[in-house]
Amino acid sequence: MDERAMMDWPLIPFGLSLPLAFAGGVALGFAYFSALRMTATLIVRGGSPLLGLAMALGRLAVLGAGFYLAVQAGALALLAAFSGVMLAKALILRHTRREGA
C-alpha cells in the first residue's frame, strides 16, 4: 500500500470536510478557552495546583487530538479547524469584555 492510499479520507467529501473542520474547530475552541478560564479561576481562588496542572495538560491534549484529526483530512481542513478555534477565542473574549464592562 502506498502513502497516498493510506492518507486518503474517502468517507467525507472534500466540500463537506472543510465546514465540518471549521465547526469542529469552533467547538474545540470553546472547550479549550472555557477550560482555560476555569483553570485561571482555580489558580486565582487558590485551588489545588495539581488540579490546575491536570486541567492544563488535559486541554492541551484535547486540542492536539482535535488538530490531529483535522490534519488527517488535509492542510486546508487543518487551517479551517484553526480558524474555528480563533473565532471561538474572539467570541469568548468579546463576551468576557462585555461581562466586565
pLDDT of 34-82, one tens digit each? 999 999 999 999 988 899 999 999 999 999 999 999 998 889 999 999 9
Quickly list DSSP for 47-94: --HHHHHHHHHHHHHHHHHHHHHHHTT-HHHHHHHHHHHHHHHHHHHH
Say what the pLDDT of residue 56 is. 94
For residue 83, pLDDT over 70 is answered with: yes
Which of these ranges, 15-19, 28-32, 36-40, 65-69, has the smallest mean pLDDT? Answer: 15-19
For residue 2, pLDDT over 60 is answered with: no
Q: pTM of the predicted model, to two decimals? A: 0.81
Continuous segment of H or E residues that includes residue 14: helix 14-44
Q: What is the DSSP letter of 45?
A: T
For residue 86, pLDDT over 60 is answered with: yes
Q: What is the mean pLDDT of residues 11-38?
A: 90
Q: Tell me how far apart the alpha carbons of residues 34 and 26 are, in angstroms, rounded to a whole number.
A: 12
